[in-house]
Structure 1
Amino acid sequence: MSSPRRMLRRCLFAALSAALVGAAAVGPAQARPADRAAPAATVTTFSDDFDGPAGSAADPSKWTQETGDNVSNHEREYYTSGTGNAALDGQGHLVITARKENPAGYQCWYGSCQYTSARLNTAGKFEARYGHVEARMKVPRGQGMWPAFWMLGTPVNWPDSGEIDVMENVGFEPSTVHGTIHGPGYSGSDGIGAAYSLPNGQAFADGFHTFAVDWAPNSITWSVDGTVYEQRTPADLGGKTWVYDDRPFFLILNLAVGGYWPGDPDAGTRFPAQLVVDSVSVTTSDTAAGLPIRGLAGKCVDVAGANSANGTPVQLYGCNGTAAQSWTVGSDGTMRALGKCLDVTDRGTADGSTVQLWDCTGGTDQKWTVTGAHDIVNPQADKCLDVTGNNSADGTRLQIWSCTGGADQKWTVG
């Protein structure tokens, strides 16, 4: 739970796992093959919808509650055990509550603690490497509030073992959240990240939002409510070490009060304050994460020039192992590379409609089915991903075309 604008800190616990895998020959249309298998299955490796009676604790087989204060961040809260600060509400939510009280006489780095709250992690119970990791939450409002959903690499040796902050919010920025990575040489105030803000002054505390990362080899991509706002790769580190491909991470949820980054609560901060968590999940595809898609002449589906701009052509190219050829198949039917989706240009359904890279929108023009016959089908058009003109030359544009069963429409993921 580090931030680009804070000092170094001592981490206790956190982190993760899961991900996604993300074109047609010119010629007369023919009947499509009868062998059309179901979409590639997705695997939920971790899921908690927080169902249970009001007042009960989070599932102890999934979560551990940490206890104690945090001098390194100069946070003001004491994290407690039990259900006083973390409990189910009986309506499918985990509620983490920060209170301005200290009935048990807890001692913090600054003396008698002024606040209590909760911090939960999955260390030793769930750890994973790669995947689509998300939480649907409603954050609290108020100066000094610091909710976070994040991950730590194992074994924890911060910052060398790495940290992925899926979402952090500080109370003085009600419309903004941050996604950040921390590692050796880029931790604390030097963490590498970006911010995402809601339009028109909307506040995250006004409703539930889904915060996610898609984590694949050499790539981490952040989104809010399905909108991608940041992607980081080893190229962003200026020669420093990328530590996100060689170890599992575990998950952390917490609500901090005060600290170097958010500052302390003020007279306008209302307590109790609540972080309400609707669900947490980690999913992968049975086709695995961040893999090449090979087709005609053994060449790969490739984003031209490794350019993540909207409208960049998707083409056939010699396989080179770069991020431009690392695709994940999502549980939502998307195929993603460089943090964006494989998209049919202008939502076309006709033979010869080209494919491109575009921001993920959830539209049917970005839905794909990987079949047992090695077709990649856009169900909206009922057409196959195809190599234009059956041409195996580097740079040949991919398109959709009526499924023929030809070699120019056969693809192998991985």
Structure 2
Amino acid sequence: MASPRLLRSCLFAALSAALVGSAAIGPAQADASDAGVTAVTFSDAFDGPAGAAVDSSKWQIETGDNVNNHERQYYTSGNNNAALDGQGHLVITARRENPANYQCWYGTCQYTSARLNTAGKFTAQYGHVEARMKVPRGQGMWPAFWMLGNDLGQVGWPNSGEIDIMENVGFEPSTVHGTIHGPGYSGSGGIGAGYTLPNGQAFADGFHTFAVDWAPNSITWSVDGTVYQTRTPADLGGNAWVFNKPFFLILNLAVGGYWPGDPDGSTVFPQQLVVDSVSVTTSDSPAGVPIKGLAGKCVDVAAANSANGTPVQLYDCNGTAAQQWSVGSDGTIRALGKCLDVTGNGTADGSTVQLWDCTGGPNQKWAVSAAHDIVNPQADKCLDVTDNNAANGTRLQIWTCTGGANQKWTVG
């Protein structure tokens, strides 16, 4: 698993001071007439002229080296290694160079790169956190999109918590990792999993979207909308869950270190981490919200069973996790770490809905309208209570939209 990605002592002190002295900015409150409308709390599409530095109102640039991981790069300031490309991307470039006689923990630095964070400018507490990126390739490359607890300056690492949304090491071109670190499960003891592209594809060959859906006592990781793990306090062996608080975002491209190993003769420089966008979105209730319909009853996962194929039904609202749904910016509606799914990719009237692993497929895409319809665009049909029956346990399905009460839903 991932090694801790801590700052060298001088950088750690500077960042800690900034965190202690700054006012945390929490998730923006949704200003929407309909509950459940996705609210954007942070967004950067990296629009601007080629060569420009990142928006300093959103990001700060860290400088220096990192002895803790034995990384080889020196992180430079300004736009030296992190610049817009004029086409809506941030490009973080790692180079084999030392233009200013930078000194690293091992002597004269051999590489430069960049690391930026939102500390003191933006923190998130829950929501859908994602970045669309194309990673570099080559032995020794270590790109990452991750978060640290905003109380880092007060409690230190790993008590602050660390959420690694995406890490890739160059010797695994087809695999990325998602990991949490905290007290008792840090460094090589971090808890997480990997996601591997099929058929030997490499992440460096194109853009991919890396995300977490983060709620109280739950973090779910996905790549391109496909969920590959969920972590809860039950995974920690009795250790403390330190993720129900504000975190700030970090993007960086490290060179070398304990985990990826150093570059070798096969590594081509420069290498680039190309970031298309970063966003944090949240619904009105980051913990998930009920979806209420006919007779004031709720959309419910039968028996709170998270197994694939579990029926989704109408049931008296009871506030359990089986009735806590999040409406994602990717068009999914999720509960218990899985997606609301039209069985068998059906498009016909009467196709039932169920819970299933999130696949990114069109049968898991939904549009929530201001008119309180929940529509599957592929079928162009509405989420519907079968036979207009308000009894507990009535199966939900898709049906041609009629405007009837059995197709009207309130999210939140």
- Please classify the TM superposition score into its range, dividing by the shorter chain length: 0.7 to 0.9
Are the structure 2 counterparts of residues 236 and 295 from structure 1 closer, same or farther at C-alpha, using a change threshold of 3 Å? farther
Check whether the contact 2:35–2:411 (CA below 8 A) recurs between aligned residues. Answer: no
Question: Relative to structure 1, is the Cα distance of residues 306 and 108 closer, same or farther in structure 2, using a 3 angstrom cutoff?
Answer: farther
Structure 1 residues 276 and 406: alpha-carbon distance in aligned structure 2, compared to 1, 3 A threshold: closer
Out of 3, 8, 12, which is 1:6 matched to?
A: 3
Instruction: Give 1:143's match in structure 2, choosing from 134, 139, 149.
Output: 139
- Alpha-carbon shift at residue 65 of structure 1 (Å): 0.3
* 1:309 partnered with 2:291: no
Matched, 1:329 2:327: yes
Q: Match of 1:256, as an amino acid?
A: A
TM-score (norm 2): 0.85
Matched pairs, number: 392
Q: Which of 240, 247, 261 is the matching residue for 2:259?
A: 261
Aligned to 1:153: 149
Q: Identify the range of structure 1 (347-356 vs 86-95) with the bigger mean alpha-carbon deviation.
A: 347-356
Aligned amino acid, residue 136 of structure 1: R
Q: Which one-letter code corresponds to 1:278 in the other structure?
A: D
When residues 383 and 92 of structure 1 are mapped into structure 2, their CA distance, relative to the original with a 3 A threshold, is closer
Aligned 1:74-153 pairs, distance under 5 A:
74-153=70-149
Residues 186-226 of structure 1, C-alpha deviations (whole Å, 9 max, x = no match): 11111111101111222111222111112223321111122
- The answer (yes or no) to whether the contact 2:178–2:194 under 8 Å persists in 1 is yes
Distance 2:411 2:224 in 1: 27
| Deviation (angstroms), 1:322 | 4.2
* SS of 2:395 mapped into structure 1: strand
Matched residue, 1:392: 391
- Comparing both chains, which one has the higher relative contact order based on Cα–Cα distances under 8 Å and sequence gaps of 6 or more? 1
Task: Between 110-119 and 234-243, report the one with greater CA deviation.
Answer: 234-243
Residues 94 and 272 in structure 2, CA contact (< 8 A), matched pair in contact too: yes
Q: Distance in 2 between matches of 1:383 and 1:68?
A: 55
SS in 2 for 1:189: helix
Decide whether the 8 Å contact of 1:340 with 1:358 is kept in 2: yes
Identity of aligned residues (%): 78
Query: Distance between the aligned counterparts of 2:406 and 2:278, measured in 1?
Result: 40
C-alpha displacement of 1:336:
1.0
Contact 2:302 2:310 in 1 (8 A): yes
Q: CA deviation at 1:325?
A: 2.6
Residues in 1 aligned to 2:288 and 2:106: alpha-carbon distance in whole angstroms: 46
Q: Shift of residue 167 of structure 1?
A: 0.4
* Greater mean deviation of Cα atoms: 347-356 or 139-148: 347-356
Read off the aligned partner of 1:166 and give its amino acid letter: I
Secondary structure of 1:356's match?
A: strand
Matched residues in 2 for 1:225 and 1:16: separation? 28
Q: Unpaired runs of 5+ in structure 2?
A: none
Q: Distance in 2 between matches of 1:16 and 1:250?
A: 10
Return the offset for 1:339: 2.8
Deviation at 1:329, TM superposition (A): 0.8
Distance in 2 (alpha carbons) for counterparts of 1:177 and 1:8:
16
**CA drift at 1:43:** 2.2
Report the Cα offset of residue 413 of structure 1.
3.0
Match of 2:238 in 1: 239
Q: Report the counterpart of residue 283 of structure 2 in structure 1.
A: 285
**1:262 alignment partner, SS class:** coil
The whole-number CA distance in structure 2 between the counterparts of 1:121 and 1:54 is: 21
**Bigger shift: residues 399-408 or 110-119:** 399-408
Contact kept, 8 Å, 1:297 with 1:392, in 2: the verdict is no
Confirm or deny: 8 A CA contact 1:149 1:253 kept in the other structure: yes
TM-align CA RMSD = 3.0
Question: Is the CA contact 2:382–2:407 (under 8 Å) kept in the aligned structure 1?
Answer: no
The letter of the residue matching 1:145 is: M
SS of the residue 1:283 aligns to: strand
Judged with a 3 Å threshold, the aligned counterparts in structure 2 of structure 1 residues 68 and 370 are, in CA distance, closer, same or farther, namely: same
Alignment of 1:11-410 (within 5 A): 41-156=37-152, 157-245=156-244, 247-286=245-284, 290-295=288-293, 299-317=297-315, 319=317, 321-372=319-370, 374-378=372-376, 380-386=379-385, 390-393=389-392, 395-401=393-399, 409-410=407-408
Following TM superposition, by how much is the alpha carbon of 1:73 offset from its aligned partner in structure 2, in angstroms? 1.0
Q: Is the Cα–Cα contact under 8 Å of residues 17 and 250 in structure 1 kept in the other structure? A: no
CA distances 1:170-201 after superposition (whole Å, capped 9, x unpaired): 01111110011112221111111110111122
Q: Kindly indicate whether the alpha-carbon contact (under 8 Å) linking 2:2 and 2:179 is maintained by their aligned counterparts in 1.
A: no
Pick closer, same or farther for the CA change 1:351–1:164 going to 2, 3 Å: same
Q: Give distance in 1, aligned partners of 2:187 and 2:321.
A: 27
User: What TM-score, normalized by structure 1, do the two folds share?
Assistant: 0.84
* Structure 1, gaps ≥5 residues long: 20-36
